[in-house]
Amino acid sequence: MKKNILLLIVLVFSLSSCIEILDDLTIHNDGSGTLRYNINLSSSKIKVNSILALDSLDGKKVPSIEEIKGKVQQFIKVLDAQSGISNVKVEENYTDYIFKFSCDFSNVLLLQEGLKQTVTAMTKEKNIQELDHNWLSWDGTKLSRSIPSISKAKVNELKQSDLDLLKTGTYTSISRFDRAVEKFDNSTAILSKSKQAVMVKTDTYSLRENQDVLENVIYLISNKN
């Protein structure tokens, strides 16, 4: 079942309360880097507990905490075995429902392929349409970013009645580099004082209404080395 690998994502987008998501990507000059992805549901923990107490939600089985823990460990094991991926870590806080994922990668292409292969292996589905989308592209001087199509699909499933409450949630996307940024295409993005990081932030409601709001193309100064 496709949702088993995305239990945390499904839980996130099943909520109608405050959700904080941080998508933090570091790319070094040689193309290697680190991906960090944090989900903070602490302001929604009462809602989470009420959902986890149910047998099903909208006709779909609600996993137990032990089932979620098992899938998280399986995810770590499968992803860590992928080519070009290392140091896969997940911090799990089931009191405040804060989850922190991180991994290192040798290049962006292997990062995307590793995540795709992990989802495919865990779902045992060979043709997942959302996985055809490449959300990262790096050529040494230019980074193109968007959010994965599989996350967009979950946003689209949100009920109309939940939309106003989604305005309290946030999605923050950060891109970090070893050298200065020359320019970027997203007019809402903010450049750090060091000029080596770019942040785009939106609320979950805006993300549902315009799923391209976090898209950005970032251009770096020439690498003289």
| Total residues found in the chain within this entry | 225
Instruction: List, for residues 47-94, the tens digit of each pLDDT value.
Output: 888 888 888 777 778 888 898 898 889 999 999 999 999 999 999 999
pTM (2 decimals)? 0.84
Q: Is the dihedral of CA 155, 157, 160, 165 positive or negative?
A: negative
Asked if 200 contacts 206 with a C-beta cutoff of 8 angstroms, the reply is no
Gap between the Cα atoms of 53 and 216, Å rounded: 39
User: Given a cut of 50, is residue 147 above it in pLDDT?
Assistant: yes
User: Given a cut of 90, is residue 127 above it in pLDDT?
Assistant: no
Percentage of residues in the chain having pLDDT higher than 90: 44
Instruction: List, for residues 169-187, the tens digit of each pLDDT value.
Output: 788 999 999 999 999 999 9
Number of neighbouring beta carbons within 10 Å of residue 8: 21
Burial of 43 (0-12, 13-18, 19+ CB in 10 A): middle
